[in-house]
Amino acid sequence: MEIVGYIAYASLVILAVVWTAGVRTDLGAQSHVTLRAVYFVSSAVIIPALGVNMAHSLWVVPLGCAFSRVIAPMLVRTPVVSIPFVFVAAVFERIVRVGIPRHKIQEARATATSACDIKDRSD
């Protein structure tokens, strides 16, 4: 079971790296996308820091997938509840996107927002 735990933990680390790279490269990403990366990164750090069995990654990864599809979009859209989560997402984005000019991020955000508005109007 120990080997399975390490394999599951390796998949958790890979997900954390991939989602973090996605936040860095997709400058127009919305807050719920960033929260997915925050979840996987914090899980990958907390599991060994607490000294728990790596097999806990077996339930953390599926929960992260559910979090990214269902919970994170709802958290960002709920006015009062979203404040701490949006703040954490903004801080994480700033850390991950160090070295990228601010105007490029703002342009990408504006483009992504206008694309979402056009998509919403067509539905």
pTM (2 decimals)? Answer: 0.77
Q: State the Cα–Cα distance between residues 27 and 109, nearest whole angstrom.
A: 7
pLDDT digits 0-9 by tens, 86-119: 888 889 988 988 888 888 877 887 777 665 545 4
Q: State the Cα–Cα distance between residues 53 and 50, nearest whole angstrom.
A: 9
Q: How many CB atoms lie within 10 A of CB 8?
A: 18
Residue 87: burial class (beta carbons within 10 Å; 0-12, 13-18, 19+): exposed
Q: How many CB atoms lie within 10 A of CB 57?
A: 25
DSSP letter string, 56-87: GHHHHHHHHHHIIIIIHHHHHHSHHHHHHHHH
pLDDT digits 0-9 by tens, 70-94: 877 787 777 777 788 888 888 998 8
Confidence at residue 115, expressed as pLDDT on a 0 to 100 scale: 54
